[in-house]
Amino acid sequence: MTDTVHSGDASLAAATGSGPPYGYVANKDKDALIKRMRRIEGQARGIEKMITEDRYCIDILTQIAAVSTALEAVAGILLDDHVNHCVRHALSSGDEAVAAEKTTELLEAVHRFTRTR
């Protein structure tokens, strides 16, 4: 993960004051998210090892389903934080352009997220 600033975040920061630019940082969820991602990374390496060891295909598929579910949980946390922090602040900022941008961004993310199902 990188700490790049997305367009609109500078104007959002100006409108809402200083502080963490993203909800997962503000809510101190960053460490928990990193811990979850490391666990998922380990599970993915485990799947690779299972394939290398010619393990039973159903066992591998079960592990792939577990990784997918874990990634969906992380995505859900990030989506919740985005709505409750970034979008909420954009809407309350009074800057219609920033609010429109964050709303569009949210809808695109929801469409991407639901398209994978």
Say which residues have a Cβ less than 8 Å from residue 109's Cβ, sequence separation at least 6: 79, 82
Residue 3 has a pLDDT of 41
Say which DSSP state 82 is in. I
Say which residues have a Cβ less than 8 Å from residue 55's Cβ, sequence separation at least 6: none
Q: With contact defined as beta carbons under 8 Å apart, do 5 and 21 qualify? A: yes
Q: How far is CA 41 from CA 12, 23, 67, in A?
A: 33, 23, 9
Helix axes 57-81, 30-52, angle to 10 degrees: 160
What CATH code is assigned to 23-115?
A: 1.20.58.1000
Residue 15 has a pLDDT of 43
pLDDT means per 10 residues, the chain with 117 residues, are 44 48 69 94 98 97 97 91 89 92 92 77
- Rounded CA-CA distance 92/96 in Å is 9
Residue 65 has a pLDDT of 97
